[in-house]
Structures are given as structure tokens and as C-alpha cells.
Structure 1
Amino acid sequence: MKRRTRIVAYTAVVVAVIFSVGSVLLYNATPKPKRLLETVAVDFTTGDADFQRSMNLIFEQPLVAGNRIAMLEDGEAIYADKLESIDAAEVSITFETFEFWGEKAAGPFVEALVAAAERGVSVHALIDYYGSVDAEADKFERMLDAGVEMIRWRKPSWYQLARFNHRTHRKLLVVDGRTGFIGGANITDRWLPDEDGQAYRDHHFRVEGPVVGNMQAAFVDTWLDASGRLLLGDVYFPELEAQGELEAQMVTSAPREGRHRMRKMLMVAIATAEQHISLGTAYFYPDAEFLEALIDARDRGVEVNILVPGDSIDKGFVRHASVNRWRPMLESGVAIYEYQPSMYHAKLVSIDDRWASIGSTNLDNRSFRINAEGNLNVFDEGFARDIRELIEADIRHAERYELERWESRPWHKRLAGWISMLAGAHF
């Protein structure tokens, strides 16, 4: 009996030692990239060549000329345009999304992707596992049976448990390597009107021109990570001619691997602002340094407008945690607006009517550090003005959150905010 007890004890010690040594080796083999720990100070603005050159080189993702971008508003229009492009596909479709479920929303996409595969189009679908847990299993079976190469990103497995929380939050669709779609809208019934006519408010964009190749490269990189296979050739990367006058840059961000680009990108852009910063985001819970960058901009006379969801937000705990940290911004004159008609889900940035960023990135820790994200930066006065005007049009359906309201919040909302903050808000 004593011998058995000693064996069990020795085994426990050996396991503990192996676990400890393994943990040390793991964390040393996969170092975390250092975050930007202070606000950025620059001597140039969005209108200077130094800004474009810095953004081009710092993020190692090129600025590409000759593009055209069309704006799409809300689920019905967004889905219709995407489905029309899928139906017209001749050689390839690459599709990446976070949420994917619902008979009204996901159903038509399944049928369109199946039809494309059956007529000989190479179809690759990368669908986040967590974001598609509500989808019926037969939808995935139907796609696979038709020849769609479909992978559910980060499906739970024993060897990937440490990365299960690393979701793909991108919303990318590229058809024939020539037409790309990017923006905030997932594929679920929430983006379509319900019985009361309510639907998520969102914006998406159809892109044509050489930068579509960079959008395709973003998908191919994640597909390689998911499948071990590399997509190459003119089926995916045809020669692309200029389709417009816009200069654009596809920027990607991913957990680990030293690719936390979105927060750094936005902090550099905020530091260049001279006149106004307009932000539209579904979830607003950045870190203290990011909030300080906005306050610094306001202190130097920049108009700062932030549009977020109101009571209709689908993750109330994020809102409570966010509001708890608003006082310094409100005192500095940062204007925060809460959208009233429905859940506001857009991700829009415009600075000085010179630079805009559109895509999947929210202004929160999850987008900055945990998710795979993709944004398209556009260096154009007209386009940046259009993005600002999109935000301002939605602000007309919002209520400004005043300092007096913050100070008079009931105790239970303050408590909910503190609990959410302690829990990490958006993890």
C-alpha cells in the first residue's frame, strides 16, 4: 500500500515538473509582442506624404492605387449584392466570415455557394466555429457534399485548446479574384428585418481594382493557417487593372505571431488628426492609452465624435464596462452618441476628411489583441468625407451621452460596469 502511495506521489511530481518545464518552454517559444504603451507624438498630419509613407512601411502592407469602392447599407442590400456576385462567379470564390447562421440569411448563401461549386467554380469557405454554432449542421454537409472546400475556423480540438478564443472576425468575400467585399456585416438573420422591421444597422463595401489582390492575399494567408494548403495562380490572383482613382491599403491583424496591427494603426492615425475624428463602432472598450490618445486629440482642438450602440446593444456587459470609463473623455469634450433605432454594428473611421478605415475591427480589446481582423484603409478626401457623413447621418438617430447623465447613473449600472471590467469585458 505504501509503495503504491509513493508511486502515485512520484508520478504527480513528475507530471508537475513536466508541466512546469513545458509551460516555460511554450511561453519562451511563443513570445507576446510588446504593445504600444504610450500615446503617439508625430510632426505630420494625414495630409502629408510622411503619413502615407509611414503607414505603408510600418504595417508592411502596400498602398495600392487605381481602386473603386461602392457603399452598401444594411443587410438586405449587402446580402443581395454579395449573392449576385457569387451567382456570376466563373473561376473562384473565397469567403471568410465570423457569424454564419439563420435560414433567411445563411440559407441563400449556402445555396449560392453550392450552385457555384456544382458549376465548376473553386469555392473556399472559412467560417468561424464559435460564430456558426447556431447554424444547422446540414448546411455545412450540403456545402461539403457539393465540393465546397469548407473549414470551420478553430473547431475545438485537444491540440488547439489554447487558441480556441482566437476567432476570425473578418468579413471577406472575393469573387474571381476581381471583386471584393469588406465591412461590418456578418451573415445572420439579425441583419434582416424581423417581424417589427428591426435589423442591425451596418455598412459594407464592394471593392474593385488592384487592392482586391491584397484582400485575396489576406484570405489565402488564413486559409494556409487553417488547411496547410496555399492557393496560387490566376484563378485567385489575376492581373488587375485600375478601376478607379482611390488609393487603398489592406491591413490585417491576428493574435500571436507579432501581428497586432489594428490598435497601433489607429493610434498613429489619431495622432495625426488636425480637425476631426469620426468613429463608428459596435463595441467600444479600448485600453487606457487608446482613450488617452482621443483625449489628447480633443485637447489640441480636434473635434472627436464617437457613435456606439445604445440600449439595443447585443452585449450589454461591454456597454456597462465601457460607460464606466467615459468620464475623462466627456470632461474633455469628446462627443459620444448612442444609436437608438436598433443595434449599431458598423466599424467606420474617418480622420480630417483625408483618411478612412473600413472593415471588421471594433474599438475593443478583442479586436485589438485576440481576433483575426481585416481593414481597408483609403487615402482619399472624397471617400473619407463620405465615411464621416455616413457616421453623421446615423448620429442624427442617436442621443448624445452627456456628463450629467454619467454622474447620475444608478448604482446597479455602475456595479454592472465594475463587474464587467473585472471580468475583462470582452475578454
Structure 2
Amino acid sequence: MTSSEREFQDVDRLHGLLGMPPTLGNEVRVLRNGDEIFPAMLDAIRNATETVDLVTFVYWSGDIAIEFASELRAAAQRGCRVRVLLDAVGARKISSSLITEMTEAGCNVRWFRPFFDKKKVPKINEANRRTHRKIMVCDNSIGFCGGVGIAQEWCGDARNEHEWRDTHLAVRGPAVAGLLAAFVDNWADQHEDGYSPGGERDVDFTEHGSTAMFVVRGSAETGASDVWRMIMSLVSMAERRLRIATAYFNPDRFVIDELIAAVERGVHVTLLVPGEHHDKRFIQITGEEAYQELLDAGVDIRTYEVSMMHAKVMTVDGRIATVGSTNFNQRSMQHDEEANVVLVDEDIVAVLDRHLDDDLTKSIELDPSRWADRGLPQKVAERVTNVVEKWL
């Protein structure tokens, strides 16, 4: 089977499993770490002439937070329609002065699912259902999707513990419509005064490349979400090699079984997770409870030891990959609004695999026997986290 024939087969298989047709004719650029991601995003804002739409879970502090606010403000002042949607939990650290400056310049800034309504009544039923999406679309012609937040932690090139490791994609082509839909889906959710699709601008469907893509949106819901099904589907398709990089690892029983089944059919499964420079130790422990079973089954687990591993990347057999905001945990798969791109393109996947190759040289491989001898306090902590693991 030729490479082209295999690509068509992969696209058809994903079409059936994901329940959505592929979007063809896209150009994709892989951006690694803040030194590549932030300049590309800021240039897109500077070059925008009509619209800028941004939804993010994290908007914290630092010079980069100020620079983004400045460019968004400038875009609004030159006549662009600028819409900024911030999660009420994830972006709570943003300076109120930045909100004021953007709003006064003409940016439409909204909070996603704030804790209180206009009458100061707590919205208990929405408190745990956040948007974790990280999407930006400019002029409906270029879109960005991945794991990076707007904060100083992501600046740099993952050279030390102060510079987080992450991956983003810049996309041109028809798939931008899917990224815009992921933004609008959350934006419309916050319009208590109504939402009119008639106000949306047309998407530029010009083909810029040859990459086949699927944009998968996960919503906070009970049971199997679309991103859960996406992950299960990609794991099931692996025949030789499956690589997973994730900031937070805490899958449900079905995903664990699927990973073990992949190993049993001869797939080399590598899991890359944060090591010493994690940002949330309690959440890290919830995933560690599953390590022994996975290690005993033959899963290769590595801990990244340079900085916080925040990328959400999965590659399958060097042919298929997904990049987005979805972590390999139950929170992403059940409780949060997420957005991922699934792409079928050997050249793009090769770039992602090269980046992962580099990451693996900076990681430590867990030894099954040594992990089995971990101390009693660690084992007790793992058991304790069982009580709340499905929320993490």
C-alpha cells in the first residue's frame, strides 16, 4: 500500500470513528514553546484587519500578558471586532487593569461561566464546567490551537524550570471554520441577551495546503464526550507506535484498558508526563496510581525533567496526530470544554515526533520494579486521591 493510499484509508477510518467528514486543503505549522508560539500569535493579531477572536482558560500575568492586551487593544482601535472570552476560574489571575484597558479600547471581553449571576446568586450547577479551550482566530483565515496559556510561564524555549514546554498549531485553510466554531460555541454560551449568527463574518475557505484535518470539540457532559471517543479511537488505530505527551494524566478505566490492549497487540506505547517540575503535585499523584499496572503491562512511562511538560500531543504510527487543549485525564474528557485538531499528514507528524524525540532525551524512564518499591506514604496518597480522581 502506498503512502497516499494509506492516508486515504486513515482519513476514512477517522471519518467513521469520529462521525465527521475531514477538512482538506489545510496548511499547518507546528509551533514549539513560547519563543515560536507567542510571536506567531501576536503577528496574526497585528496583521488582522477585520476580526480577532480569542478564548483561553489561562490568562495570568507577566510581560506577555501585557503585550497581548496591548495588541488586542490596538486591533480594536484600528477598527477590528475583537472578542475575548476568559474562563472565570482559569483566568482569574489576570490584572483587572488589563480588562479595563481592553474594554475601554473597544474589545468585547466576557467571562465564561462566572460563579455569580447579575443578582449575585451563585451558579452552583456551572461551577465545575469550565472552558479549557485555547483558540484564536484572526480574520477568519488563520487559527491557532494547542495547549499554551497567556502567561509568563510559557515564555522562552523550555530551557529550564521557569519556561514551560508546550505545542501549538497555526492553521490556514478550511479547517479554520472548525476552530472558529469552537470559539463561537463558547462565546454564544455567555450571551444572556441572545446571540445572532447573522453577525458572524464569512470564513475564508481558500485551500492553502494538503493536510487533512478534523476539529474535535469536547463539551462538559455526562458520559463519553467527543474528545474521549477521539482518544479511544486513536489508541485503537495504533499498529506500531503510540506516543502521548500530556500535562495531566488520569484516564478512566476504559482508556487504561485500551492502552494495555495496544501493548498486547505489539504497539510500543510511550507516555511522557511531567516530572520534578510539575505544577500540581496532587493531580500528578492521581495519575501515578495507574503507573504500576501500565508499567507491568509494558507501557514505557517517562517523566520530563527540564520544566513543566504542558503539551497535549499524541502521534500514531508516524501518520496521525492530535494537538489541542485536551489532557489525558478525566477532567478533560468529561468536565471541560476542549478543542483538538486531528491531522493526517506524515510530514507534520514527523515534526511532532522529532520534538518528542528531543523531549525523551530530557526525560527519565520509570523502572517497573523500582516503582513497585515506592514508599508507603506515596501509596497512601494515591489511594486518597481515588476519592476525587474523576474531577481532576
Paired residue for 2:146? 183
Counterpart residue number, 2:218: 253
Q: CA deviation at 1:409?
A: 0.7
Contact 1:94 1:173 (C-alpha < 8 Å) held by counterparts: yes
Q: Are the aligned partners of 1:320 and 1:414 in contact in 2 as well (CA < 8 Å)? A: no
1:305-346 alpha-carbon deviations (Å, 9 max, x no partner): 111000211111122121121112111211000000110000
Distance 1:302 1:176 in 2: 42
Instruction: State whether residues 30 and 348 of structure 2, in contact with CA within 8 Å, keep that contact through their aligned partners in structure 1.
Output: no
1:100 aligns with 2:59: yes
- Which residue is equivalent to 1:218? 182
Hey, what does 1:313 align to over in structure 2? Answer: 278
Between the two proteins, the alignment pairs up a number of residues equal to: 381
Change (3 A) 1:259 1:139: farther
User: Are residues 58 and 268 of structure 1, via their aligned partners in 2, closer, same or farther at CA, if it must alter by over 3 Å?
Assistant: closer
Mapped partners of 1:231, 1:115: distance in 2? 26
- Of 17, 33, 46, which aligns to 1:87? 46
Spell out, residue by residue over 1:156-214, the C-alpha distance to the aligned partner (whole angstroms, 9 max, x if none).
Answer: 12363211111111110000000111111011111125997721111111111111112
- Measure how far apart 1:141 and its partner are: 1.4
Q: Is the CA contact (8 Å cut-off) linking 1:173 and 1:181 kept in structure 2?
A: yes
Determine which of 158, 173, 192 is the counterpart of 2:155.
192
Residues of 2 paired with 1:202 and 1:196: CA distance?
13
Contact 1:102–1:189, Cα closer than 8 Å, also in 2: yes
- The one-letter code of the counterpart of 1:124 is R
Structure-2 residue corresponding to 1:354: 319
Larger Rg: 1
Of 43, 65, 74, 2:33 maps to 74
Q: CA deviation at 1:55?
A: 2.8
CA–CA distance in structure 1, aligned partners of residues 344 and 275 of structure 2: 31
Separation in structure 2 between the aligned mates of residue 220 and residue 258 of structure 1, nearest angstrom: 24
Q: Is the 8 A contact 2:250 2:389 kept in 1?
A: no
State the identity %: 30
Contact 1:183–1:347 (CA<8 Å) still a contact in 2? yes
- Contact kept? 1:318, 1:426, Cα under 8 Å: no
Aligned positions of 1:76-155 closer than 5 A = 76-155=35-114
Per-residue CA deviation, residues 247-286 of structure 1 (Å, 9 max, x unaligned), is 1111101012887111111111211211110111001100
Tell me the distance in 2 between the aligned counterparts of 1:124 and 1:231: 15
- Counterpart of 2:168 in structure 1 is 204
Structure 2 counterparts to residues 8-407 of structure 1, below 5 A: 47=6, 51-157=10-116, 158=121, 160-192=123-155, 198-227=162-191, 228-232=194-198, 236-256=201-221, 260-407=225-372
Q: Structure 1 389/76 Cα, relative in aligned 2: closer, same or farther at 3 Å? A: closer
Kept in 2: contact 1:220–1:230 (CA 8 A): no
More divergent stretch after superposition (85-94 vs 157-166): 157-166
Shift in Å at residue 425 of structure 1? 6.4
Cα distance in 1, alignment partners of residues 388 and 222 from structure 2? 25
**SS, match of residue 68 in structure 1:** strand
Residues 347 and 138 (structure 1 numbering): CA distance in 2 closer, same or farther, change over 3 Å? same
TM-score, length-normalised on structure 2?
0.92
Q: Report deviation, 1:73.
A: 1.4
Distance 1:426 1:65, change over 3 A: same
Over aligned residue pairs, what C-alpha RMSD do you find? 2.1
Equivalence for 1:3: none
Paired residues of 1:337 and 1:400 also in contact (CA < 8 A): yes
Q: Which whole-Å CA distance do the structure 2 matches of 1:239 and 1:195 have between them?
A: 37
Flag the 1:137–1:375 CA change in 2: closer, same or farther, 3 A.
same
Change (3 A) 1:205 1:303: same
- Secondary structure of residue in 2 paired with 1:87: helix
The answer as to whether partners of 2:160 and 2:306 remain within 8 angstroms in 1 is no
